[in-house]
């Protein structure tokens, strides 16, 4: 506790502010909202190539997006891509086109004849954009020092469509490349690894090309370009880099420091090596979230930076650990749609707690879990009850609330406690191996747990994940000196009667001068009495001591 307790408290507060923003949006949602499901994939996307020239003076981009794909199972007569406020210049294709049009939210390309199933096709859309979302310029024209001019992007959840046309749903995963043309002296950062850098003799612009050769989801595509300074390290053969605007360079080292130990811890805890070619983190101005886990290149908010003078009251450890955990949970395996986003955020939250436990001891993790629980209690009382897997949201951002983060983390902690560490770890390793570079839903995790533990967790997932709410236990205890029995009465007091009863294991702890007596019980009914023989009257009765 002590100093570090305060540190983690700050990280928590940042998260809660984000949650409250999401809740405010939820509260204004329209009354008629339909269930949301992943769209029909229709096409197998093999590669997305983006070529972008940034105009830092006009805060605009000129781009060409080339998609390589093949129709799945049946002929395809038109292709719809998400695109908002893009100005179309030209559409070209390896097949003959009947035409194309742009609506306020899509680009619709119609083929002269339906494309046969499995027929690999290449389509290029040239466009310009002055994005108000998705891509953000920080330039002298917008009040920033010229020496720190930069741009950054944010895809999650559905912002990428504001700066390039794309299949903007997490159930499509594909390799990608980004080429960006910038004035000499600027850095260009993107996903994967840098494969080339050339200077155009006519324009004098430098073209930097990055390739992510492993499949990832569209919302994880990132572009950052501008003036940055860099720190470098490595873990095994994996390059680790940390970029900041030049004036922040003196504060970079303290925030970079947790990266290597966190990566080493995760490889050991998860049992699967870091899944990508390298790992970079970049600090940008006015980032809208705490951090964003783009594959191989996380974006971090600049307020995480601090000096040695404040290292005792602040830390980047929680944020760095959270974003790095996402490289496995969210990036290697990705929620199939936003109803399942707890599979991204719950894991990233919980694994940052596990890292904290390894760094500072189990008490520190329990303190994090305690803080998380307080967050759940506070947040869940002021809004309509929603299950973690919930489809009737208006905008995906509503899903990024206390359910995805702290309740998701708690759900994994309960699983780990009930399965035991060794079985839990085997389940998670298998979950990542079986679904590597693919998408997941909660049932994928449930099925592997049942297969490897020999126990059914259908009820567990039903009550904690597919239904809203939580048990509220009223506990009374008494001592009968004649029979030497402690009586503990437990009543489930949550609203909803029999429909919302929980089954859960619970530890009762009795403390007296002679020591501690523990008794494991299973709560299954609305009201139950448990009798425990003890040598003498207990001084303290604890329910769920951890
Ligand atoms: Zn996250």
Distance 293 CA to ligand 1 centre (A): 7
Rounded Cα distance, 384 and 128, in Å: 42
Judged against a pLDDT cut of 70, whether residue 23 lies above it is answered with no
Among the listed residues 64, 62, 119, 58, the one whose alpha carbon sits nearest the alpha carbon of residue 94? 119
pLDDT digits (tens, 9 = 90+) for 92-109: 999 999 999 999 999 999
- Tell me the pTM: 0.93
Please name the helix (run of DSSP H) or strand (run of DSSP E) that holds residue 242, with its range, or none.
strand 238-244
Distance 155 CA to ligand 1 centre (A): 13
Distance 281 CA to ligand 1 centre (A): 14
Distance 476 CA to ligand 1 centre (A): 39
Q: With contact defined as beta carbons under 8 Å apart, do 42 and 81 qualify?
A: no
Q: With contact defined as beta carbons under 8 Å apart, do 261 and 129 qualify?
A: no
Distance 321 CA to ligand 1 centre (A): 10
Residue 9: the pLDDT is 36
Residue 202: the pLDDT is 95
Distance 454 CA to ligand 1 centre (A): 31
Instruction: Give residue 368's pLDDT band: very low, low, confident or very high (50, 70, 90).
Output: very high
Distance 329 CA to ligand 1 centre (A): 9
Rounded Cα distance, 210 and 224, in Å: 11
Distance 345 CA to ligand 1 centre (A): 5
Distance 146 CA to ligand 1 centre (A): 31
Residue with tokens 């809208």: 288
Mean pLDDT in residue range 192-217: 98
Residue 16: the pLDDT is 38
Judged against a pLDDT cut of 50, whether residue 398 lies above it is answered with yes
Distance 289 CA to ligand 1 centre (A): 9
Distance 64 CA to ligand 1 centre (A): 30
Residue 464, φ and ψ in degrees, nearest 5? -90, -30
Instruction: Give residue 30's pLDDT band: very low, low, confident or very high (50, 70, 90).
Output: low
Residue 341: the pLDDT is 98
Residue 527: the pLDDT is 97
Judged against a pLDDT cut of 90, whether residue 501 lies above it is answered with yes
Distance 495 CA to ligand 1 centre (A): 31
Instruction: Give residue 31's pLDDT band: very low, low, confident or very high (50, 70, 90).
Output: low
Distance 527 CA to ligand 1 centre (A): 38
The answer, yes or no, to whether the previous bond of 157 is cis (omega within 30 of 0) is: yes
Residue 506, φ and ψ in degrees, nearest 5? -145, 140
Residue 498: the pLDDT is 81
Please calculate the CA angle 408-414-419 and round it to the nearest 5 degrees: 125
Judged against a pLDDT cut of 50, whether residue 392 lies above it is answered with yes
Residue 150, φ and ψ in degrees, nearest 5? -160, 170
Residue 382: the pLDDT is 72
Mean pLDDT for the chain? Answer: 94
Judged against a pLDDT cut of 50, whether residue 480 lies above it is answered with yes
Rounded Cα distance, 78 and 67, in Å: 14
Judged against a pLDDT cut of 90, whether residue 189 lies above it is answered with yes
Judged against a pLDDT cut of 70, whether residue 13 lies above it is answered with no
């Amino acid at each position: 506790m002590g100093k570090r307790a305060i540190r983690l408290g700050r990280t928590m507060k940042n998260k809660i502010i984000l949650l409250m923003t999401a809740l405010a949006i939820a509260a204004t949602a329209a009354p008629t909202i339909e269930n949301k499901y992943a769209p029909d994939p229709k096409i197998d996307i093999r590669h997305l190539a983006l070529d972008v020239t940034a105009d830092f003076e006009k805060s605009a981009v000129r781009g060409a997006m080339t998609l390589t794909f093949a129709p799945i199972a049946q002929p395809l007569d038109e292709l719809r891509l998400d695109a908002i406020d893009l100005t179309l210049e030209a559409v070209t294709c390896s097949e003959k086109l009947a035409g194309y049009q742009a609506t306020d939210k899509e680009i619709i390309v119609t083929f002269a004849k339906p494309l046969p199933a499995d027929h690999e096709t290449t389509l290029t859309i040239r466009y310009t954009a002055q994005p108000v979302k998705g891509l953000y310029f920080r330039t002298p024209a917008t009040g920033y020092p010229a020496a720190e001019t930069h741009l950054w992007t944010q895809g999650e959840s559905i912002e990428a469509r504001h700066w390039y046309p794309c299949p903007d749903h997490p159930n499509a995963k594909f390799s990608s490349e980004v080429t960006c043309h910038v004035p000499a002296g600027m850095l260009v950062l993107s996903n994967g690894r840098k494969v080339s850098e050339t200077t155009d003799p006519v324009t004098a612009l430098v073209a930097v090309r990055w390739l992510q050769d492993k499949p990832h989801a569209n919302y994880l595509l990132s572009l950052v370009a501008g003036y940055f300074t860099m720190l470098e390290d490595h873990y095994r053969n994996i390059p680790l880099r940390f970029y900041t605007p030049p004036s922040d360079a003196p504060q970079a080292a303290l925030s970079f420091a947790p990266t290597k130990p966190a990566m080493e811890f995760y490889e050991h805890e998860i049992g699967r090596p870091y899944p990508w070619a390298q790992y970079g983190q970049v600090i940008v101005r006015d980032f809208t979230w705490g951090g964003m886990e783009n594959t191989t290149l996380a974006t971090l908010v600049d307020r995480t930076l601090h000096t040695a003078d404040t290292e005792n009251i602040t830390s980047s450890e929680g944020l760095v650990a959270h974003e790095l955990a996402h490289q496995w949970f969210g990036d290697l395996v990705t929620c199939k749609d936003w109803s399942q986003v707890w599979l991204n955020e719950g894991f990233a939250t919980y694994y940052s707690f596990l890292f904290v436990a390894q760094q500072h001891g189990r008490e520190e993790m329990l303190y994090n879990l305690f803080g998380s629980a307080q967050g759940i209690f506070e947040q869940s009382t002021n809004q309509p009850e929603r299950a973690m897997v919930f489809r009737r949201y208006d905008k995906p951002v509503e899903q990024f609330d206390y359910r995805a983060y702290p309740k998701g983390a708690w759900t994994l902690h309960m699983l780990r406690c009930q399965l035991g560490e060794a079985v839990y770890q085997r389940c998670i390793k298998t979950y990542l191996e079986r679904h590597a570079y693919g998408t997941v839903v909660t049932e994928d995790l449930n099925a592997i747990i049942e297969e490897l533990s020999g126990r059914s967790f259908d009820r567990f997932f039903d009550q904690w994940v597919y239904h809203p709410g939580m048990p509220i236990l009223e506990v009374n205890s008494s001592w009968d000196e004649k029979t030497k029995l402690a009586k503990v009465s437990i009543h489930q007091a949550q609203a909803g009667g029999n429909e919302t009863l929980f089954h859960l294991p619970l530890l009762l702890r009795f403390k007296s001068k002679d020591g501690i007596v523990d008794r494991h019980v299973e709560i299954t009914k609305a009201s139950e009495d448990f009798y425990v023989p003890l040598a003498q009257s207990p001084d303290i009765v604890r329910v769920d001591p951890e």
